Amino acid sequence: MSTESADGSPGRPRIEVTETAAEQALELLEGESYDVTEAGLRLFVQQGGCAGLSYGMRFDAAPEEDDAIYNHHDLRVFVDPASLKYIGGSVLDYESGLQAEGFHVENPNVVSECGCGESFRT
């Protein structure tokens, strides 16, 4: 059963979202004509990349039944239980600069990353 809170349900690791990341995601979400009161950003981990695991993000109209649901700066973030094992305690940020622009996950569970920073190992 899904639980919604700013910091996850009891016993579940937290996922934080910076205000900048939330603003960027909400702008994109609204641009896709989603109902931002129900829809959210799904953050997940998938097999792939040279280090073994990589992050994925997409918009979903509603959470799945067993998702952890986080609400930061009016953005709902959905994380499935399998992904939460790898990214619990992470912070989702948005970076804009000369070198790169986009969403970035600051994950305290990472033991090593590939050279390009697109995949990781815990």
Sign of CA dihedral 60, 64, 66, 71: positive
* Structural domains in the chain, sorted by start: 3-121 (2.60.300.12)
Among 43, 45, 46, 85, CA closest to 64 = 43
Residues whose CB is less than 8 angstroms from the CB of residue 72 and which lie 6 or more positions away in sequence, other chains included: 6, 16, 17, 22
pLDDT digits (tens, 9 = 90+) for 6-42: 444 556 689 999 999 999 999 999 999 999 899 999 9
pLDDT tens-digit readout, 71-82? 999 999 999 999
> What band does 114 get if pLDDT is binned at 50, 70 and 90?
low
Alpha carbons 49 and 22: distance in angstroms, whole number: 26
pTM of the model: 0.83
Assess contact for 61 and 75: CB atoms under 8 A: no
